[in-house]
Amino acid sequence: MESNKTYHYLFNYSFVVISVVLILGAVVSWVSPESITVNGEPGKRDLLMTTIFALLAILALLLFLLVRKKFAIVELGNQTIKIKTNGQDKPISWLEVEEIKLIQFVYPPLYKIKVKNDESTIWFNTEPEFISISGFVRDTSEMGRLINKKKRELGI
């Protein structure tokens, strides 16, 4: 079982897309403010709004730079886990897993895994099969069932 690659790239590059959209909004609000209509009236050139859009774009870009190396494609087996990140495959045993936890309020299910003797945390997704009640997520995918089984067996 392997992470869904579509959602992997969606999670990984969403902050870049948000940043580009905000930069375009800042440029349009400064260069051609009349092309933006608010409450039926054409927009006016406003330094404050342009600055806010630009700062939010910079913030989204910084968030991307902070989390881009945390996302990985994970392949789960009954005995081993293969973590594919930054062009490298890192096979580990389930016994080396210090923590594996579902991150709540994120759709589709996103997990974080921490390996013993490694300070970094890796984030990976499963298939988009889940139940959400009031924002709390329960992963019902085959990968999610294997994770819960291994957590019970190994006491993770």
- Residues 80 and 136 sit within 8 Å (Cβ to Cβ): no
The verdict on 78 and 136 lying in the same domain is: yes
Q: What percent of the chain has pLDDT over 90?
A: 65
The verdict on 78 and 148 lying in the same domain is: yes
The verdict on 58 and 82 lying in the same domain is: no
The verdict on 57 and 17 lying in the same domain is: yes
- Residues 69 and 97 sit within 8 Å (Cβ to Cβ): no
3-state helix, strand, coil split of the chain in percent (to 5) is 45, 30, 25
User: pLDDT band at 103, cuts 50/70/90?
Assistant: very high
The verdict on 77 and 145 lying in the same domain is: yes
Q: In total, how many domains does the chain have?
A: 2
The verdict on 91 and 42 lying in the same domain is: no
The contacts of residue 14 (CB under 8 Å, 6+ apart) are none
The verdict on 148 and 79 lying in the same domain is: yes
User: pLDDT band at 87, cuts 50/70/90?
Assistant: confident
pLDDT, tens digit, for every residue of 33-59? 887 777 777 777 888 888 998 999 999
The verdict on 88 and 59 lying in the same domain is: no
The verdict on 84 and 150 lying in the same domain is: yes
CA neighbor of 79 nearest in space, from 97, 93, 90: 93
The verdict on 12 and 77 lying in the same domain is: no
Q: How far is the C-alpha of 153 from the C-alpha of 62, rounded, in Å?
A: 39
Element at 139 (helix H, strand E): strand 136-139
What is the distance in angstroms between the CA of the first residue and the CA of the last residue of the chain? 20
The verdict on 63 and 77 lying in the same domain is: no
Which domain, by its residues, includes 56? 5-67
The per-residue pLDDT for 28 is: 87
